[in-house]
Structure 1
Amino acid sequence: MKHSKIAIIGAGRVGTTTAYALMLKNIVAEILLVDIDPNRCQGEIYDLADTLSFSTASNIHAATLKEAGRADIIVVTAGIAQQPKQSRTALIEVNQKIVTNILSDLKPINPHAIILMVTNPVDLMTLCAQEHAGLPHAQVFGSGTFLDSKRLQLAIANHVGVAEESVHAYVLGEHGDTQFPAWSCAQISGIPLLKFPGINEKDLAKIGVQTKNKAADIILCKGSTFFGIAICVAAMCESILFHQKKVFTLSVFNQEFGVCLSLPVVLGGRGIEKILPIPLSDSEQKQFTASAQALRHAKKGIGE
């Protein structure tokens, strides 16, 4: 294995679970964990280090933000957690300050580094990171609706009784209130979704609502989500480190609207290698525009 280095900023539940997922995958030589609370950080490292006998490829240790700035991949999870029934946009002001300070303290940043934003509201935090990192947009992007898309694919697969990898369906736009499933281009092994036996428009509407509400349902029950997003981040890191060029729905900069929101992209060793055009129906295009405008409004609400 090439001596790859991933820094995780934030030793909370998402950050530490991401570290754990990376260690179990055996895909990275060195993991740096950074947190504002050094005792908490060291305790998490001691705990995670107990898995090393099952994960021979990875080494994990505490680091400063300056040290993290030299990593190959920098995963930012630090921020104030979303509370039950709290919209993601309500988090904007405080988490923007946190992200801005982190980006400042990371410098000088490795010019080849990939910055992967997970802090919510992820679309606005991704835009903030792009504005402060001094790196090309292709190297700074967010987890976006990747997990939402995986939830959608799994729900469809369970409904019709096929393997999840046979389902191709995406949730686009904001990771939040205005996200939407692109039903018009959803397929199961090349068969348009509504032509596949055992599923109809009523089923799609139900699945769409369940997918959109799943994060809120989890937060209401246990306070936060972290397992699903951690494995998604690990998959993204794997696609980068091994130049896999996999297609994920990630939060990327949209020139037309001047915001970051989720579209299907090709993710490889250089970061975002291609943003894929996706044919939307007229109603879906209106939903996409509404999602982008909602993000623009939220951005203006805190000053540009």
Structure 2
Amino acid sequence: MKVSIIGATGRVGRAAAFCLAEENSVGKLVLFAREESLCKIEGESLDIYDALAAKGIYVSIKTTCDLKDIEDSNVVVLSAGISRKAGEEREDLGVQNAKIVAEYAKKVAEIAPDAIILVITNPVDVMTYVALKASGFKKNKVFGLGNHLDSLRFKTYIAKHFHVHVSEIHTRIVGQHGPQMVPLISSTSIGGIPIEYYSAWDYFTGYEPFDIKKTIEKVKNAGSNIIGKKGATEYGPAFAISNIVTTILNNENKILTVSAYLDRDIEGIEDVCLGVPVKLGIDGIKGILPIKMSESERESFLKAAEIVKKDTDKLMKVLK
């Protein structure tokens, strides 16, 4: 299988390249960068080769500034754009990144018409919509990182609090990848037991009660917190990207929360990209799953859709 990364010199792109190079399902990896950054990405590829040699892994890595080299890609990871700085909102990056994403999405459609596009560039829900429209692809072939990483972070925080393995936590966050993210507490369980039943367990084990609101704020601010401390997020997004790509390449039919185009699939919402649970496989999105939400979750989800739709329409007018 062939995977191409557009924007491979960025910190997320570089980390994702390393994660994907380790995967057995990836045989060819194309790292695309602008001509002025080609030397840098060549150094990255040599460094990756050294690391893989130590692990007894081989993958073909091509570094290039010629987009024609993405031809025949199974998946194109689109992470090109301006990175978010500490204290900066994802929405602040909109117009500049939209122009970049639109340009590359058109090129992918021309050069690799059978590829699936995975959008990483922020604000990811809006950028996914831009990539979908600019490429002209069917909606199952263009989707964004969305709330997948948010959901993983939420699972980790819950697992740490209750001192259980993260695989025992079943939950997800939907809606916007940003301030309007919506945790589905009503369907969250630990080892198959609804989380609401664990309040008594807290009392008997001496743990502090689980503060859901505080935990969600931690999830919302996780990216900014990391950026403030080390300058950028890398490993979390990279492994989340690798998780999605390998799910596609291996046709695993996993249910992951990505930013997908809605056409009245959930709550009658249409013409907007939002984080929702989907079944992913070799053809991309095989289906959007229905969500059972409490009334407050439903209201928050509709609000997220309204805000993302407004931001998207505003950007599309600028792009014409």
Normalised-by-shorter TM-score class: over 0.9
Q: Deviations over 1:70-95 (max 9, x none)?
A: 20110011110001111111100000
Tell me the matched-pair count: 301
Find out whether 1:62 has 2:63 as its counterpart.
yes
Find out whether 1:5 has 2:5 as its counterpart.
no
- Provide the residue aligned with 2:233 in structure 1: 225
TM-score, scaled relative to structure 1: 0.94
Q: Deviations over 1:178-218 (max 9, x none)?
A: 11211111111221111122289762122111111111111
Find out whether 1:211 has 2:212 as its counterpart.
no
Offset of residue 108 of structure 1: 2.0
- The percent of aligned pairs where both chains have the same amino acid is 34
Q: Distance in 2 between matches of 1:55 and 1:94?
A: 41
Q: Pairwise mapping of residues 107-118 of structure 1 onto structure 2 (< 5 A)?
A: 107-118=109-120
Query: Any unmatched runs of 5+ in structure 1?
Result: none
Matched to 2:288, the amino acid is I
Offset of residue 297 of structure 1: 1.5
Q: Deviations over 1:205-249 (max 9, x none)?
A: 221111111111111111110100100111111111111111111
Q: Distance in 2 between matches of 1:282 and 1:220?
A: 35
Alignment check: 8 A CA contact 1:7 1:31 kept: yes
Matched to 1:279, the amino acid is K
Alignment check: 8 A CA contact 2:22 2:57 kept: no
Alignment check: 8 A CA contact 2:70 2:112 kept: no
Greater alpha carbon shift after TM alignment, 58-67 vs 279-288: 58-67
Alignment check: 8 A CA contact 2:161 2:210 kept: no
Offset of residue 289 of structure 1: 0.7
Offset of residue 138 of structure 1: 0.5
State the SS of the aligned residue for 1:296. helix
Residue of 282, 287, 291 corresponding to 2:300:
287
Q: Distance in 1 between matches of 2:43 and 2:283?
A: 33
Find out whether 1:299 has 2:312 as its counterpart.
yes
Q: In structure 2, do the counterparts of structure 1 residues 279 and 62 end up closer, same or farther at CA, with 3 Å as the change threshold?
A: same
Q: In structure 2, do the counterparts of structure 1 residues 55 and 111 end up closer, same or farther at CA, with 3 Å as the change threshold?
A: farther
Q: In structure 2, do the counterparts of structure 1 residues 55 and 17 end up closer, same or farther at CA, with 3 Å as the change threshold?
A: farther
Q: Pairwise mapping of residues 233-244 of structure 1 onto structure 2 (< 5 A)?
A: 233-244=241-252
Matched to 2:235, the amino acid is F
Q: In structure 2, do the counterparts of structure 1 residues 126 and 88 end up closer, same or farther at CA, with 3 Å as the change threshold?
A: same
Greater alpha carbon shift after TM alignment, 242-251 vs 197-206: 197-206
Offset of residue 302 of structure 1: 2.5
Residue of 164, 167, 170 corresponding to 1:165:
167
TM-score, scaled relative to structure 2: 0.90
- Provide the residue aligned with 1:129 in structure 2: 131
Offset of residue 107 of structure 1: 4.1
Q: Distance in 2 between matches of 1:228 and 1:81?
A: 15
Find out whether 1:25 has 2:26 as its counterpart.
no
